[in-house]
Each structure stands twice: as C-alpha cells, then as structure tokens.
Amino acid sequence: MDNSLPPLTLSADNMRALATQVSELIVEHFTSLPQLPVTRPATMSGLNQGLGEPLPTQPTPVPQLFSQLKTHVFDHMTHLDHPRNFAFVPGPSNFVSAMADAIAASLNVFSGGFLGPSGVAQIELTTVEWLRELFHFPAEAGGLFVSGGSMANMTGLAVARHVMLANNTTNAAVYFSDQTHSSVAKGLRILGFQQFQIRKLPSDKRFRLCLDTLRQRIAADRLQGMVPFCVVANAGTTNTGAVDPLLDLHHFCKAEGLWLHVDGAYGGSAVISEQGRKVLEGIELADSLGIDPHKWLFQPYEIGCVLIRNREHLKDTFKVSAEYLKILEQNSEQVNFCDYGVQLTRGFRALKMWLSLKAFGVEAFRDAITIGIRNAEHIEYMLRADPCWDIVTPAQLGIITFRFVAEGMDENALNTLNDRLAREIILSGYALLSPTILNGKHVLRMCTINPRTTPEDLQYTVQLLKKFGESFPVSVQ
C-alpha cells in the first residue's frame, strides 16, 4: 500500500494489477466450470481454521488474500451456474452481465433518484419496457428491478394491499395453492397478514390451484365476514413447474373483484419462447407479476423484477416525501425509482439486463430458454425407456420429477432409496440434484434450465443415478 495516497486508495498501477488478477479469475471461472465438480463441500472445522480470524489491524497483500479465498471459499463452492447443477432453480448467468455488474459496482451507480434527466434512469425505464413487451403487458403497465423473486412478490402484494384494502388488512384474506413458493407466505407475514388470513388451498392432481376449491373457499369466507382481496397464482411452481389456470383465474378474479398476483419467478420467463407462451397463456392478464431475471433470464444474482398492470399504483403505494429528498422532485418528468419500491439507495441492476439483451439480442434468450425446456423433455424420454424409473410429473417448463423403483419395495423404502440417490450424486460431485416431496412421495427432481448443459451431461447423470440405485441391495434400502 502507498502511504502517500489517502486511506483506502490504490495507485493506478496497483489498481491495474488487481483488475488483471480479478479478470483472470473470472475468465478462468467461466471457461473451466464444466470440468469442475458441481460441489465440493468443506468441513466446518477446516473453514473455521481457514477463515475464522480476528479483525485485521494491518494490511495484507491482496495476492495472499486471493490465495486464501481460493483455498477456503472458491474451491468449495456450490456452483449454481454449473451445467450439471439441476438442483433448486439454477442460476445459469452469463459473462456479459457479470461484466455489467462489475461496472455498476465500480462506478458505484446510484439508481434511487435523479437530479434531472439521467441515462441511468432511462436504461431502467427502457429495460422494464422491454420486459413489459416480452410479457405482453399493456402500455400503461410499469415496474422496477428489485433484489429477486421474493422481493418482487412482496412488492406486488404490497401494491395489492394498498389498492384493494387501502392498507386496512382487518379480516382480509389471500388465496393460493399449497405449491406456492414460501416467499409469498413470508411476504404476506412481513406485510402484516396473520395466519388466519392466509388460505393455502390443496392443489389438484397436477399440482395446480383448483378453481372450484378456490370458489368454494371464497364464498364460505365471505359468509364468515372475511374480506377476500387477492389470489396468488403460479406461473411455474418450484416443485414441478406446474402452471395454475391463469386465464380462468383472471376471469374469476375479475368477476369477484379480486387482485390477481402471478408468481412468475421460476417459470414466467419461458413466456418469451414459443412453447412457454402457450403454457403460460393468461400471464399477461395479471394485476401484478413477479419475475426473476437471475433465474431463467440468465442474469447473475441479484435481480428480480415486478410488473404492475397500472404503473401509477406503484407510486401510490410507495412514495413518501422527505425534505432532504425534495430536490429530486424538481423535474416532474424525471422518474425516481425510490418512489416506486422499498429501496431508496439501490444499485444499477438494470445495466446487466440491458447490456446482455443488447449484446446477444432477444433471439439468443429465446433459444436458451427453449434448450432448457427441451432438456427436461429429453430426460423424460430417456427415463421412459427404462422400467427402473417412475415418472412422477412429466417435463414441464424445464422441470421433471421421478423415482428409482425396484420390485418388492414399499413406499418407505422407496423414499429412503431416492433420498439416498440424491445424496450420492451430490457426494460424487458430478451433478447436483435437490429431491422434493410430492403427496408424501420422496422424488428426484431435475431443473434443466442451463443452456450450457450438454446431452452427455443429461445422459451420464441419469446413468449415474441408475448405477447408484442398483448398487444398494434391497435389504439395505
């Protein structure tokens, strides 16, 4: 470190040297990822030894720090962007957007409010407008970028609460299926709803919200003095990729005077592909929609987006004036995103979405999404050819669930065996799968949305699972 410089400052040469080291690390990550294990867990004691240190009082040369990070952090990461990560919802990401994040952080761009017309604001307006168009929302719709799907859902629900209830939540009730992501219940809790106001309804055989059940429950609740105000529908559940009957739900909500929020955090982005558009018919009719570009729009973490059918509702819900922010209001044409959501200080998330859409063009996104949908269909095809597999839910929006089955095993044994297969493949480091539970059945689940996954990755993962399945004697299973 150079003592002639102010604190926390590097010379230009030192900055260049560090930037070169960082860019080498990033390029190495992107190029070597397919050859790395998807996960290589560390031990708690090893991590503690390597990283559990006292507060540093003296400077350490950065190359030494990089080596510490490599040994104890980077070499033991679970790579959600790995082509053989099929667990949870993968985050395939892309290099151009990673560079955009580096620029946004380096220039420390503030995207909360603007002292006059600003290119930063315009990039977000333009990019949200592109998403509005891709999701077939009407011209008067608008939105903003948030941290992820959870925040997008909560923002949509906050708008629903404001518009439908004028924020008086007494006896208000909200409805969704038992397959709905936990972020919805969490968001509602944060927004002040209590358990008795949250109606988690049993889903149908295909894990979709059942309109008849919904209708009956709402009618019964009204008789009891409850105030139904919102239905949350899924545009692709996390468990199985199931899509609730969006068009029917829209008509129902309209007739009943209810707000329709759609959680499209997992599957919504598929609407830009031809196949996805058919499956997601009606998504464009939502009053609010949560989407998650850091999943199936291939952005690095963190970026979610909320679209609101009437963009004025966002400002009505969130704008709070303060004397020290008055200067931001001088230009009435200027959009200040702090008035449209929870955050005042917010980073330039829009840049990565904008840069990657411009650099690759939307057709590349379409192709990448189509690959993800087809990958799951390809797995289904392979599984159907072998009687050791039972398909629990077919390929839907890039997700398939299935079980290894063997003669003479009861449900308990099958559950234990399939949990074990997921553990074994994780330990192998070759691929990552997260099992789930559907109607009491423990099932394997693959989410195949990474466009860099090869047919060989899919084939060998299925072969490996079979090998593990066959290697456990029935008595042990």
Ligand X SMILES: Cc1ncc(COP(=O)(O)O)c(C=O)c1O
Among 101, 284, 292, 457, binds ligand X (CB under 6 A): 292
Q: Is 148 in the site for ligand X (CB under 6 A)?
A: yes
Burial track 304-318 (b if 16+ CB lie within 10 A, e otherwise): bbbbbbebebbeebb
Q: Is 181 in the site for ligand X (CB under 6 A)?
A: yes
Q: Is 127 in the site for ligand X (CB under 6 A)?
A: no
Q: Kindly state the smallest distance separating residue 152's Cβ from ligand X, in Å.
A: 8
Q: Is 448 in the site for ligand X (CB under 6 A)?
A: no
Among 97, 127, 150, 461, binds ligand X (CB under 6 A): 150
Among 175, 266, 354, 402, binds ligand X (CB under 6 A): 266
Q: Is 238 in the site for ligand X (CB under 6 A)?
A: yes
For ligand X, the closer of residues 148 and 451 by Cβ is: 148
For ligand X, the closer of residues 221 and 302 by Cβ is: 302
Rounded CA separation 218/213 (Å): 9
**Which residue minimizes CB distance to ligand X?**
149
For ligand X, the closer of residues 266 and 402 by Cβ is: 266
For ligand X, the closer of residues 193 and 266 by Cβ is: 266
Q: Is 37 in the site for ligand X (CB under 6 A)?
A: no
Question: Which bin fits 91, alpha (ψ -120 to 50), beta or left (φ > 0)?
Answer: beta
- Region from 61-69, 143-151, 200-208, 361-369 binding ligand X, contact rule CB under 6 A: 143-151
Rounded CA separation 390/383 (Å): 8
For ligand X, the closer of residues 72 and 200 by Cβ is: 200
CA-closest candidate to residue 152, choices 355, 349, 363, 445: 349
Among 265, 353, 355, 447, binds ligand X (CB under 6 A): 265
Among 93, 118, 169, 183, binds ligand X (CB under 6 A): 183
Q: Is 304 in the site for ligand X (CB under 6 A)?
A: yes
Rounded CA separation 201/108 (Å): 45
- Region from 107-115, 161-169, 170-178, 258-266 binding ligand X, contact rule CB under 6 A: 258-266
- Contacting ligand X within 81-100 (CB under 6 A): 89
Q: Is the dihedral of CA 170, 175, 179, 180 positive or negative?
A: negative
Residue 219 C-alpha from the chain's centroid: 33
Residue ranges in contact with ligand X by CB under 6 A = 89, 148-150, 153, 181, 183, 238, 263, 265-266, 292, 304
